[in-house]
Structure 1
Amino acid sequence: MTIAELASLTHQVLWAAFFVALAFGALVQRTGFCTMGAVADVVTMGDWTRMRQWALAAGVATVGFAFLAWAGAIDPSKTLYASTRWIWLSALVGGAIFGFGMVLASGCASKALVRVGAGNLKSLVVLVVLGVAAFATLKGITAVLRTRTVDRVGVDFDVQASLGAIAARAVSIDVASASLVLGVAIGAGLIAWALSARESRQFPNVLAGAGVGASVLAMWWVSGHLGFVAEHPETLQETFLATNSTRAEALSFVSPVAYTLDWLMFFSDRNKFVSVGIVTVLGVIAGSAAMAITQRSFRWEGFGGPDDLAHHLAGAVLMGVGGVTAMGCSIGQGVSGISTLSLTSFVAVAAMIAGAVLGVRYQGWRLERAS
């Protein structure tokens, strides 16, 4: 492959990622898919409809990823979530912090992007603060705290810290086969539970869950297959084009928001480059804006007062710190990470739900106290 061919392929990867994110943003704006809303519905009303949407998304992505890996279209050991170290404490602490923060900020990072596209200025402030906090946790002051505390605690395996690899070792079969069986079983179980309720089988709910899952799956293919180069013409090493992690990535929104701010602030720096994560951030906003304008639901919205601003700022900081510590957001770990059967992802998702439940109860306490 020549340098010119590599540049052309990089552009293809970036445009493909942008259009996947565009569809994702339009879909979430149209259907109201929301992880924070799903938890709040269960806690406050006992309504599991949006939680089933989330389960459907994770199920579709898990089944699809299992077949992509089994077919050799993507290597599970080379994804962002692949590691022989199970960083359970980072996932636990980061996930809980993120979950609580997304309630204070009225939604997770992906929801904030969608709301920005629909004219929500509160979410714009949330994204800027989230990005700064996330970058500090990637490379700044809170990164030092993270690496010296929770990241030091973990369990080291001699195989990948995923259900597929561990099961393969236990029953002495190849990882691809074990991952296929487990991925299909777990994914099908999630899908079956998601569709077990009558209201969940209504078209808008199926569209929301299946659409988000398909978007994650499409991004896995774009980054992990289309963007994979076995031998870079300059380094002669394999690489995944236009990824900040140099690994295969799917939809995730905390670190990408940080890298987007970094790219905008240092635009003239030739060392900065447009990555898959950056174009997904821009794509989600554009897709949401297009849908909001089409539906005539675009409107400007600001803060209700100092208290509202303070809680959103606190939530944004918590999401930035927690999302990086847990290696992903409610979509990044809750759908993309889960699809790889990563042990860290399962802990992170459980912690996010627990943190969100605590956040919803805190907000309820605030309302009762105010009244």
Structure 2
Amino acid sequence: MGAVSDIVNMGSWTRMRMWGMAVGVAMIGFYGMGWLGWIDTGKTIYSSGRIIWLSALVGGLLFGFGMVLASGCGSKTLVRIGAGSLKSLVVFFVMGFFAFATLRGVFAVLRVNTVDKVAVDIAAGGSVPMWLTQFFGFAPDVSGLVAALLVGGALMFWALLGKDFRTPDGLLAGVGLGAVIAWMWWISGHLGFVPEHPETLESVYLATNSGRMESLTFTAPMAYLLDWLIFYSDTSKVLTLGVVTVVGVVVGSFVQSLLSRSFRWEGFRDTQDTALHLAGAACMGVGGVTAMGCTVGQGLSGLSTLSLTSAIAVTGIMIGAVLGFRFQIWLLERE
């Protein structure tokens, strides 16, 4: 949200360049591991020839609009909780509730029977490497590496063109976050992969809610964390990669706020502030699940796979964010 805000309000592309660097590093890391045989790049939750473009677009619009009203996306909400924001804690619970309702509840029925039905099936697959394999006959691992080097390398080059970006903090943010995304792919796709489960005798990815390889994402894991806390006595409810990362971001933020002496309690300013954050949280919960990911889930993890659905979702998120900023400006002018 900050990157889009800087462009809209100040014309600054520095934080967007950080995002571009992170995506580029994550792409090359993801498909580099595929080329080395460490992971199977075709086994992610984004690998599908079915492009649910309307779900991605509508969900992205809702999420982008909601994150502006709620003062940040899911990851920012978790960071602010760790730094003492009580209103972000409220956003977390509301967002998690609406996310779970969109995964399994009333909004799930609505989602499946409406936007999810509008899709395009592409025989060649839903990502750039799959197209290279289909049309040029490249091996899948080679196609992935070539596409990642071209697209990811271009993003990294574009990021480095910005003078303001080429600082220790900027490089750490971009390269560091991209490396974390790639590392999480390795954890779920290599460390957590069992070729033959002793009970089912089938290959399985352990500790992921989807049963497939996953990297960082926060909307659905928020819902699964609430589910785990509420049904803790149910032994079938286990800690997954997504759930643990949600807790990890809060703990990491809390430690950092103590070290930097920036921890402070924060509450809602007034009734309007409360209403906007509640509405934003609801939009993020519904939109994040509908779009199959948030700014991190689709904007970093999804884009690192060069998925077309992810690109549509990110476009929707950016448009939604711009509309959210325009709405806030309208509120200020009205007051």
Identify the match of residue 290 of structure 1 among 236, 241, 255: 255
User: Counterparts of 1:90-169 in structure 2 under 5 Å?
Assistant: 90-169=55-134
Query: How many residues matched?
Result: 335
Deviation by residue 1:83-103 (Cα, 9 ceiling, x = unmatched)? 121111110110111001100
Tell me which moved more, 171-180 or 199-208.
171-180
Distance 2:79 2:175 in 1: 18
Matched, 1:316 2:289: no
Partner of residue 308, structure 2: 343
**Runs of 4+ residues deviating >2 angstroms:** 157-160
Partner of residue 227, structure 1: 192
Partner of residue 356, structure 1: 321
- Cα offset for 1:158? 2.5
Give the secondary-structure state (helix, strand or coil) at the position aligned to 1:161: coil
* 8 Å CA contact 1:103, 1:356 repeated in 2: yes
Partner of residue 242, structure 2: 277
- Cα offset for 1:206? 1.1
Tell me which moved more, 170-179 or 315-324.
170-179
Letter in 2 for 1:174: A
Distance 1:140 1:178 in 2: 39
Give the secondary-structure state (helix, strand or coil) at the position aligned to 1:263: helix
- Cα offset for 1:159? 3.7
Distance 1:87 1:73 in 2: 29
Unaligned regions of 5+ residues in structure 2, if any? none
Partner of residue 212, structure 1: 177
Matched, 1:66 2:31: yes
Letter in 2 for 1:38: A
Letter in 2 for 1:356: A
- TM-score normalised to the size of structure 1? 0.89
Distance 1:334 1:323 in 2: 11
Give the secondary-structure state (helix, strand or coil) at the position aligned to 1:199: coil
Identify the match of residue 80 of structure 1 among 21, 45, 60: 45
Matched, 1:365 2:330: yes
Matched, 1:187 2:142: no
Partner of residue 328, structure 1: 293
- Cα offset for 1:157? 2.3
Deviation by residue 1:289-335 (Cα, 9 ceiling, x = unmatched)? 11110000011101001100000000000000000000000010001
Tell me which moved more, 75-84 or 97-106.
75-84
User: Counterparts of 1:34-49 in structure 2 under 5 Å?
Assistant: 36-49=1-14
Partner of residue 264, structure 2: 299
Distance 2:129 2:76 in 1: 31
Distance 2:181 2:26 in 1: 6
Distance 1:122 1:217 in 2: 32
Instruction: State the superposition RMSD in angstroms.
Output: 0.9
- TM-score normalised to the size of structure 2? 0.98
Unaligned regions of 5+ residues in structure 1, if any? 1-35
Give the secondary-structure state (helix, strand or coil) at the position aligned to 1:201: coil
Deviation by residue 1:102-150 (Cα, 9 ceiling, x = unmatched)? 0010100001001101111111100100000000000000000100011
* 8 Å CA contact 1:77, 1:160 repeated in 2: no
